[in-house]
Amino acid sequence: MSVLTVEELCHTYSAHTPFEKVAVEGVSLTIPAGQFVGLLGHTGSGKSTFIQHLNALLQPTSGRVLLDGEDIHKDKASRRDVKRKVGLVFQYPEYQLFEETVFADIAFGPKNMGIAKEEIDERVREAAGFVGVDESLFARSPLELSGGQKRRVAIAGVIAMRPGVLILDEPTAGLDPAGCRQIMDNICRYREQSGATVIIVSHNMDDAARLTERLIVFDHGHVAMDGTPEEVFSRPKELINIGLAVPQATSVAMALRERGMALPEAIYTHRQLLEAVKRAKGVGTC
């Protein structure tokens, strides 16, 4: 399993032109193997730019990204290695489905890695299983599928490369609540069964609160907050000040505190809210 280390990462688009834009500045952090990380931040705060550095799609303007202690831009072999070990699922990945069948689309990555046919078959079935794509769909054209199914096929295509680090940029964007839940369940299952590190960019504070172990909050290209959901959501005013929402339970707890109810700081799930309200009102907890 791989450890990612980011050292003083800066990225400037269109440097030395009138369109120059500093998108990420001075970001340093380490992501240990197996961690489930949520990346939060308003639009334009640098999240997509940041994650594209983690699998060498973008080259730092300055600073370094290390995978297992080695600079991912050291040479051609290191860049190839990082692309195999760090899988990146873009926003709306279904727009990149282009093969004639679902099977061929999921198989595309492993095939490019030069993997033997029997193993490709095994990987495609395994990846499809993780994301709940039934094998009866393998011969169909991806274009015939529903939006949610297409998204799952696209994610399976990355999972089939068995990346030790899986990064997803807003994997539930544009899906209905049932579709969102399915995708998040699939990702959690992949993580549990593979032990992979998962980094997920999300606007859904409730998912971030419920599922991740660590939250990194971006603001204007910098890391504004970095901690457990408990640590980050005990500072709801700071989140609101940088233009972010807070989980539903956190905002209800804030409103109750303003009305004088004595509630602890770190409330970010419905269960915590319920228990805290019961305690505050002196009702027995279960």
Nearer to ligand ADP, 6 or 107 (CB): 6
Closest CA to 173 of 204, 198, 209: 204
DSSP code, position 225: E
Nearer to ligand ADP, 49 or 182 (CB): 49
Q: Tokens representing 169?
A: 């940029």
Q: Return the exposure string of 162-180: e unless at least 16 CB atoms fall within 10 Å of the residue's CB, then b.
A: bbbbbbbbbbbeebeeebb
Q: Residue 227 phi/psi, 5° resolution?
A: 180, -175
The CB-of-41 to ligand ADP minimum distance in angstroms stands at 5
CB of 123 within 8 A of CB of 70? no
| String of DSSP letters for 209-254 | HHH-SEEEEEETTEEEEEE-HHHHHT-HHHHHHTT----HHHHHHH
- Interacting residue ranges for ligand ADP, rule: CB under 6 A: 13-14, 21, 23, 41, 43-49
Nearer to ligand ADP, 90 or 138 (CB): 90
Closest CA to 115 of 76, 162, 155, 78: 162
Angle CA(163)–CA(48)–CA(238) in degrees, nearest 5? 115
The CB-of-64 to ligand ADP minimum distance in angstroms stands at 19
State which H helix or E strand residue 146 sits in.
none
Nearer to ligand ADP, 14 or 146 (CB): 14
The CB-of-220 to ligand ADP minimum distance in angstroms stands at 9
The CB-of-182 to ligand ADP minimum distance in angstroms stands at 24
Nearer to ligand ADP, 31 or 102 (CB): 31
Closest CA to 21 of 33, 12, 29, 8: 12
The CB-of-108 to ligand ADP minimum distance in angstroms stands at 25
The CB-of-19 to ligand ADP minimum distance in angstroms stands at 7
Nearer to ligand ADP, 21 or 271 (CB): 21
